[in-house]
Amino acid sequence: MKELIKQYETAKKKAIKFMKKGQLNKYFDALVEMNHYKKLITVSAN
């Protein structure tokens, strides 16, 4: 669970970095990655 949270936070930091740089394609990819980890965290919490 802790590892999933770390990976989610890393993806979140990447998304923010890409958004600030204006790299929209990479930003959206990072958002998809965040969504994936968020779903895994939700499933493992249940």
Backbone phi, psi, residue 23, to 5°:
-90, 85
**What is the pLDDT confidence band of residue 46, given thresholds at 50, 70 and 90?**
confident
What global pTM score does this model have?
0.85
Span 18-26, average pLDDT: 97
- For the beta carbon of residue 25, count every other beta carbon within 10 angstroms: 8
| DSSP 8-state code for residue 22 | T
| DSSP 8-state code for residue 23 | -
Asked whether residue 45 carries a pLDDT value surpassing 90, the answer given is no
Which pLDDT value is given to residue 33? 96
